Amino acid sequence: MQLVESLVRRGLPRGVATSSGPDFARDVLGRVGLRDRFGFVLTSADVTLGKPHPEIYERAAARLGVAPAEMLVLEDSENGCRAAVAAGAVVVAVPGGHSLRHDFTGARLIADSLADPRITELLALA
């Protein structure tokens, strides 16, 4: 929540690009109180090719009106990281319990959590 609120205060555009379906994504975002904190939510229903294909991140960059290289992606999975790297985004891996052993090759950094100060440092460069 703290990271998202920081992005909102700075007026930075935000979106979600998930491999999950639309109902699940809405449910999760609603449960954690973030449903209205993003400009858009792209799900598996919005793409033809799933991660690790870069399509979802290419679409996200287009929705944000930026080149993929100007987009910071926070990813918790190997396939998501591969997709974001292939799209040309700046990728921060944030492994969770299910992905602690995933390969995050190509990520700019592997964060300890969403509160990792290195994420804030990367955002300051934007």
* Fold assignment, 2-125: Rossmann fold (3.40.50)
Contact 102, 77 (CB under 8 A): yes
Q: Write down the pLDDT at residue 32.
A: 93
Mean pLDDT, rounded, of the chain:
95
Separation between Cα atoms, residue 43 and residue 19, nearest integer Å: 6
pLDDT digits (tens, 9 = 90+) for 73-97: 999 999 999 999 999 999 999 999 8
Q: What predicted TM-score, i.e. pTM, was given to this entire model?
A: 0.92
pLDDT at 126 over 80: no
Partners of 93 in the β-ladder: 75, 110
Question: Could you tell me where the DSSP H helices lie in the chain?
Answer: 2-10, 22-31, 55-64, 78-87, 117-125
Mean pLDDT confidence for 5-24:
94
Mean pLDDT confidence for 46-57:
98
Q: Which DSSP state fits 118?
A: H
